[in-house]
Amino acid sequence: MSTSASSKKTTPKKTNSILSVKKPWFDKIIKAVWILFFCFVLGIPLYFLSVSINLFGLFGEMPSTKEVENPENDLSSELISADGVSLGRYFRFNRSQVTYDGLSTDLVNTFMLSEDHRFYEHSGMDFWAYPRVLWGLLTLNSAGGGSTITQQLAKNLYTRNPDKALDGVVAKLGKYPRRIVQKTKEWIISVDLEKNFTKEEIIAMYLNTAEFSSNSYGIKVAAETYFNKGPDSLNLQESALLIGMLQNPTFYNPVSNPEGALNKRNEVLYKVYRHGYKIISREQYDSIKALPLGLNFKVQNQNQGLATYFRTVLRNDLMSWCKEHGYDLWESGLKIYTTIDSRMQRFAEEAMAEHMRVLQKEFDRQWRLRNRNPWTDENGNEIKNFLEQRIKRTEAYANLVERYGAEASFDSIKILLNQKKPMRVFTWRGERDTLFSSIDSLNYYKRFLQSGLMSMNPETGAIKAWVGGINHKYFKYDHVKQGSRQPGSTFKPFVYGKAIEDGYSPCHELLDISPTIKIPGGTWSPSNAEGDKGLGDKLTLRQALARSKNTISAQLIDRVRPQNVVEFAHRLGIKSELHPNPSLCLGVDNVTLYELVSAYCGFVNLGIHVEPYYITRIEDKNGNVIESFVPKTRQAMDEKTAYKMVYMLEGGVQESGGTSVGLKYELKKDNEIGGKTGTTDNASDGWYMGITHNLVTGVWVGGDEPSIRFPSWSFGAGSKTARPIWEKYMLKVYANPEVGFAKGYFKRPVSGLDVTLDCNKYQSIDSTEVSPDEKEITLDDLNN
């Protein structure tokens, strides 16, 4: 039987080649390896290039090479005294630069060994640290970050600063894309920083940009804030405390969390020991870690330090200057050199505090004895509803009106204003915590006496000390340049000065009798401070000014005309509006202490008025002088007239009955002094103007507003309220010769005098003197 060909079976050939077997998974692995290789070799560099050029705007702009070489950092502007002491700073972020040379060796070593002990071995990125970081992430046991000092600096300078606008489209996709972009930029910027700066410069730059909590930015401010010293003086344990704060400034703040800060400090110290800081042994480490924190803490702000009122007033001038010249006072790192002497400023603040503490105690005691409040009207009657009227001017009242609406009744708001709450208040024994309502607080603070002091070199115009009040934190109002009050008898020298200019001699005699002067609506006949209309004695002009006789001041303004006195005072530097009325001779028109001191300097400076100034120069952050300031001067009166007025003011110290004869002998010995007291008729203001050959100083004392009055005119007399502050201040100045204001004698006119000052030899220029009560002068006559 035969078989057909179609049914014949065929068998495939067998082969032993493994390559003939199809394995697609193997091909995919090979392909993936090559892709990953090319991504790593080409993709990563292309990614970094894309970020660096901000491809298609995906990643945000990178800083330019110029920005990396000259990083912009917000810098506080600093006020510097004439003797080189920092008076304070204007800042949004309180930061001030320091160079590497200004860092202590302990600080540098602690920082480097704690934060990046291979700092000198890498070029911005520490690749040896990345495996450790990765292992920590995998094991959930972090052994520290992988960022180098250079990377952290990059973060501080750019990627943490929203003003640099480094974020692009990718970073807006979410937290993780943003973090990847930021980290990439840190790496790129780190390389640029390492290219353009030395290691030492990078260390200084990082410490200058770091935050240390308590309003402290940068190592210089941090050292001053926590230890009251410069960064060049920080020891090992102090350095460790500050470096420990870098990881979390708020949590490791030694004031708010001393235990946490101490533990962190000791952790940093151990790192320093472990990484081989050769100076510290195990025994030294054990000894140092047992030490307390050793803080000398003082937060820097505008309410603390020297010359707080001066700094606040000056700020407005500087803001105008910065606007005109294209600077930011808060961030441009300006150095403003002032005329203020820090030592004299301290003497002035101490003198004021010493006297005002005692004066306030007696002020309160006397009003308690009278069982009355110190706010009174012109007739001495207590002002009704005074506190209710004043509370409506406060921020607390305005906030309640805004919250409940203007239609809310005062009675309803008053209930809230009387609710007590915890409050810290000022006392002359230090700050105290208490429970006060808004009404309680107003009632408490309105009883405080205030004071102002300004001290100026009459020849140069340089202001050496400026105290605007008793405590800037609690009383913001400046009583040197802002406060304008009646000067009382301290205005009289301008009346006498005009008479001297018109030919009167200091030896010219007038009767102590009050004139009768017609004024609109009647007549005016002033009394003396003692209440009399004059005793009829003959007094020289020098004696009359020394005893501050109102009667003779009124006679003089009769003769020289009020309008001429106004013009004379304006020539000398009084800029406030003055009304040409006879009562001007008693100082009834408001002026500032700033103006009075400026004007009195014209007498001492032989008639040359020097505009007060308080800035000598301004430098930019690199130390380049932007502008220098020179005081403006003009001849305000003849030098002979000026010296005669100096001689007249000396009468207050030398003449019998003078209001300055009570000054201590220690001040008057081997020293020429002139002085003038002032007290307003309503017992609101006490003044003293003291002059020496090289220093003119004015002092004002009074209530926060004119209706806050002294218990009596005699209690509020300038000789009791203001003169003691001047006396204490000058004693401190003379006790410290290093400040350069020694005792001495007033300058004399080069051409001599045209009249003798020896009143025994003087002959009156007016032998037919008319008695003041024999004539009546109208106001129109006076101004013609």
Q: Quick one: pLDDT at residue 771? A: 41
Q: Are both 208 and 278 inside the same structural domain?
A: yes
The DSSP bridge partners found for residue 456 are 463, 696
User: What would the pLDDT profile of 627-638 be if each residue is shown by its tens digit?
Assistant: 999 999 999 999
Q: What is the pLDDT of residue 253?
A: 93
Q: Does residue 169 share a domain with residue 38?
A: no
pLDDT of residue 479: 97
8 pLDDT higher than 60: no
Tell me: do 268 and 162 sit in the same domain: yes
Last residue of a domain, one of 299, 321, 337: 299
pLDDT tens, position by position, 152-173: 888 877 765 554 545 666 666 6
Are residues 128 and 268 located together in one domain of the fold? yes
Last residue of a domain, one of 275, 299, 323: 299
Q: Domain range holding 763? A: 489-589+754-784
pLDDT at 215 over 90: no
pLDDT > 90? residue 222: yes
The one-letter code for the residue type at 190 is S
505 and 562 part of one domain: yes
Task: Give the tokens for residue 525.
Answer: 């006949």
Do 126 and 237 belong to one domain?
A: yes
pLDDT, mean of residues 121-136: 59
Quick one: pLDDT band at residue 7, thresholds 50, 70, 90? very low
Residue 734 lies in a domain: no
Looking at the structure, tell me whether residues 137 and 264 fall in a common domain.
yes
3-state secondary structure of 234: coil
| pLDDT of 625 | 97
**pLDDT (tens digit per residue) in 562-605:** 999 999 999 999 999 999 999 999 999 999 999 999 999 999 99
Kindly provide the b/e burial profile for residues 702-713, where b requires at least 16 CB atoms within 10 angstroms of the residue's own CB: bbbebbbbbbeb
Residues 268 and 124 in one domain: yes
What local confidence, expressed as pLDDT, does residue 758 receive? 87
CA dist 366 and 371 (Å) reads 9
Contacts 24+ apart (CB under 8 A), 583-586: 583/524, 583/526, 584/491, 584/495, 584/557, 585/491, 585/492, 585/495, 585/550, 585/553, 585/554, 585/556, 585/557, 586/488, 586/489, 586/491, 586/492, 586/526, 586/550, 586/553, 586/554, 586/681
Span of 243-252, 530-539, 680-689, 771-780 with lowest mean pLDDT: 771-780
Residue 418 lies in a domain: yes
| Model confidence at 548: pLDDT above 80 | yes
What is the 3-state composition of the chain as percent helix, strand, coil, each rounded to the nearest 5? Answer: 45, 15, 45
Residue 435 is inside which H or E element, if any?
strand 432-436
pLDDT in tens, 496-538: 999 999 999 999 999 999 999 988 888 999 999 888 898 999 9
From the list 518, 519, 520, 516, the residue with the least C-alpha distance to 534 is 516
Task: Answer yes or no: do 222 and 105 share one domain.
Answer: yes
- pLDDT, tens digit (0-9, with 9 covering 90-100), for 484-505: 999 999 999 999 999 999 999 9
Give the mean pLDDT of 342-356.
98
SS3 for 537-592, per residue? CEEEHHHHHHCCCHHHHHHHHHHHCHHHHHHHHHHHCCCCCCCCCHHHHHCCCCEE
- pLDDT value of position 70: 64
Q: 606: phi > 0 → left, psi -120 to 50 → alpha, else beta; which?
A: left
> Both 150 and 223 in a single domain?
yes
Q: CA-CA distance, 376 to 683, in Å (whole number)? A: 10
Same domain, 435 and 573: no
Contact call for residues 413 and 405 (beta carbons, < 8 A): no
Q: What span, in angstroms and rounded, lies between the C-alpha atoms of 673 and 651? A: 9
**Residue 146 belongs to a domain:** yes
pLDDT(128) > 60: no
Average pLDDT over residues 758-767: 68
Count the domains in the chain: 4
End-to-end CA distance of the chain: 165
For residues 155 and 472, the model is more confident at: 472
d(CA 53, CA 184): 12
Helix (H) or strand (E) holding 615: strand 615-619
In a domain, 287, yes or no: yes
159, 171 in Cβ contact below 8 A?
Answer: no
> Are residue 180 and residue 272 in the same domain, yes or no?
yes
When computed from its CA atoms, the radius of gyration of the chain, rounded to whole angstroms, is 38
Q: pLDDT tens digits, residue range 403-452?
A: 888 777 778 888 999 999 999 999 999 999 999 999 999 999 999 999 99
87-108 mean pLDDT: 87
Query: pLDDT band at 61, cuts 50/70/90?
Result: low
The reply to whether 582 falls in a domain is yes
Say yes or no to pLDDT of 136 above 70: no
- In this prediction, residue 376 carries a pLDDT of 94
- At 19 the pLDDT is 46
CATH code, domain with 202:
1.10.3810.10
Q: What is the pLDDT of residues 677-688, one digit of tens each?
A: 999 988 899 999
Burial of 189 (0-12, 13-18, 19+ CB in 10 A): buried
Domain finish residue from 299, 323, 353: 299
Whether 665 is covered by a domain: the verdict is no
Question: Would you say residue 329 lies in a domain?
Answer: no
Confidence of residue 278 (pLDDT cuts 50, 70, 90): low
Q: DSSP letter at 304?
A: S
Whether 206 is in a domain gets the answer yes
Average pLDDT, the chain: 86
